[in-house]
Amino acid sequence: MNAMAPVGAPSLPTAVDYRVYHDTQIFAAEQRNIFKGRTWCYLGLEAEIPNAGDFRATHLGETPVVLVRGQEGKLHAWVNRCAHKGATVCRSLRGNQADGAFVCVYHQWAYDSEGTLVGVPFRRGMKGVGGYEKDFDLASHSLEKLRVESYKGMVFGTFSADIESLDDFLGPVMRKYIDRVFQRPIKVLGYSRQYMAGNWKLYSENSRDSYHGGLLHLFYPTFGIYRQSQDSAGELAEQGFHNVFTVSKPKGDIDYGSFGDEANREMQGSAKLQDERLLQFRPEIEDDVGLHIQSLFPSVVLQQIQNTLATRQIVTHGVDKTELVWTYFGYADDDEETTRHRLRNLNLVGPSGLISMEDGEAVELCQQGTVGAEGKHSFIEMGGDDVRGYYAPMGMDENAVRGFWKGYLNLMGDALAVSAEASA
Amino acid sequence: MSMVDPVLQGLVDSLNAAYGLCLDDGRLEEWPEFFVDDCLYQVIARENVDNGLPAAVMYCDSKGMLVDRVVALRRANVFPEHFSRHLISRAVLTGIDGDTVSAEASYALLQTRNDGETRIYNAGKYADRLLINDGVAKLVSRMCVYDTHRIATLLATPI
Domains of chain B from N-terminus onward: 6-146 (3.10.450.50)
Q: Are residues A196 and A102 in the same domain?
A: no
How far is CA A164 from each of CA A158, A262, A332, rounded to the nearest angstrom? 10, 45, 32
Contact flag A194-B151 (C-beta cutoff 8 Å): yes
* Residues shown for chain B: 159
The C-alpha atoms of residue A162 and residue A128 are separated, in whole angstroms, by: 45
A162 within domain boundaries: no
In Å, what is the CA distance from A147 to each residue of A40, A73, A76, A78, B8? 9, 16, 8, 9, 60
DSSP element (H, E) containing A96: strand A94-96
| CB A413, CB A33: distance < 8 Å | yes
Query: Comparing C-alpha atoms, which of A408, A144, A199 is closest to residue A318?
Result: A199
Mean pLDDT of all residues in A316-339: 98
Q: Over range A93-112, report the average pLDDT.
A: 94
Helix intervals (H) in A4-107: 24-30
The verdict on A273 and A364 lying in the same domain is yes
Residue A164 lies in a domain: no
3-state class (DSSP) for residue A15: strand
Q: A63 and A187 in one domain? A: no
**Contact yes or no for A82/A109 (Cβ under 8 A):** yes
Looking at the fold, whether A178 and A258 belong to one and the same domain comes out as yes
B152 to chain A: which residues are within 8 Å by CB?
Answer: 195
pLDDT in tens, A380-406: 999 999 999 999 999 899 999 999 999
Same domain? A204 vs A320: yes
Contact flag B77-A274 (C-beta cutoff 8 Å)? no
> What is the percent of chain A where pLDDT is above 90?
83
Q: What is the pLDDT of residues A134-176, one digit of tens each?
A: 999 999 999 999 999 999 999 999 999 999 999 999 999 999 9
Which band of pLDDT confidence, cut at 50, 70 and 90, is reported for residue A269? low
Mean pLDDT over each residue of chain A, to the nearest integer:
93
Q: How many CB atoms lie within 10 A of CB A396?
A: 12
Q: Calculate how close chain A gets to B43, using CA atoms only, in Å.
A: 9
The whole domain housing A248 covers: 172-417
- Low-confidence spans in chain B with pLDDT less than 70: 1-2
* CB atoms near residue A221 (< 10 Å): 24
Measured on CA atoms in the order A358, A361, A366, A367, is the torsion positive or negative?
A: positive
CB < 8 Å to A216, chain B: 78
For residues A280 and A345, the answer to whether their CB atoms sit within 8 Å is: yes
- A313, amino acid identity: Q
Whole-number pLDDT of residue A289:
93
DSSP per-residue codes, chain B: -PPP-HHHHHHHHHHHHHHHHHHHTT-GGGGGGGEEEEEEEEEEEHHHHHTT----SEEE-SHHHHHHHHHHHHHT-----EEEEEEEPPPEEEEEETTEEEEEEEEEEEEEETT--EEEEEEEEEEEEEEEETTEEEEEEEEEEES--EEES---S--
CB of B60 within 8 Å of a chain A CB? The answer is yes
Residues 6+ apart with CB under 8 A from B122: B107, B108, B109, B111, B146, B148, B151, B155, B159
Mark whether A187 and A320 lie in a shared domain.
yes
The answer to whether residue A145 sits within a structural domain is yes
Assess B43–A contact: CB distance below 8 Å, yes or no.
yes
Q: Are A340 and A210 in contact (CB under 8 A)?
A: no
B130-157: per-residue pLDDT in tens?
A: 999 999 999 999 999 999 999 999 999 9
> In CATH, what number is assigned to the domain containing residue A101?
2.102.10.10
Q: Please give the residue of chain A at the shortest CA–CA distance from B148.
A: A193
Residue after which a domain boundary falls, among A149, A164, A186? A149
Does A215 lie in the same domain as A120? Answer: no
B-interface mutation test, from A278, A311, A313, A327, most B Cβ less than 10 A away: A278
Element (H, E) at A403: helix A399-412
d(CA B14, CA B33): 14
CATH number at residue A189: 3.90.380.10
Residues A262 and A367 in one domain: yes
Q: Is A336 helix (H, G, I), strand (E, B) or coil?
A: helix
Are B45 and A192 inside 8 Å of each other by CB?
yes
Cα torsion A22, A24, A28, A33: sign: negative
Strand partners, B45: B146
- Cβ atoms within 10 Å, residue B121: 22
Kindly identify which residue of chain B lies nearest to residue A327, measuring between CA atoms: B55
Q: Let me know whether A177 and A131 are in one domain.
A: no
Question: pTM for the complete prediction?
Answer: 0.95
Q: For residues A334 and A367, what is the distance between their CA atoms, to the nearest angstrom? A: 41
Q: Is residue A258 part of a domain?
A: yes
User: d(Cα A25, Cα A419) in Å, to the nearest integer?
Assistant: 6
Domain total for chain A?
A: 2
Cα separation of A39 and A157, whole Å? 8
Residues of A whose CB is below 8 A from B77:
218-219, 354, 357-358
pLDDT value for A255: 44
Residue A171 CA to residue A158 CA, distance in Å, equals 16
A14 assigned to some structural domain: no
pLDDT, one tens digit per residue, over A221-266 is: 888 776 555 789 999 999 999 999 999 876 654 443 444 445 555 5
CA atoms of A363 and A353, how far apart (whole Å): 15
Residues A41, A359, A186, A66, Cα dihedral to 10°: -40
Interchain CB distance below 8 Å, B80 and A361? yes
- Domain annotation covers residue A17: no
Are A305 and A183 contained in the same domain?
yes
Closest approach of chain B CAs to the CA of A272, in angstroms? 8
Select from A87, A188, A221 the least CA-distant residue to A79: A87
Residue A62 within a domain: yes
Q: What is the pLDDT of residue A254?
A: 47
Are A137 and A274 part of one and the same domain?
A: no
Nearest chain A residue to B57, by CA:
A352
pLDDT over threshold 50, residue A219: yes
Whether A8 is in a domain gets the answer no
- Beta strands at A321-331 and A186-196: parallel, antiparallel or unpaired: antiparallel
CA distances from B5 to B8, B18, B92, B97, B142 (A): 5, 20, 11, 13, 21
Which residue, among A341, A326, A230, has the nearest Cα to A284 in the 3D structure?
A341
Q: How far apart are CA A140 and CA A117, in angstroms?
A: 8
Tell me: do A118 and A212 sit in the same domain: no
Residue A18: φ, ψ to 5°: -60, -15
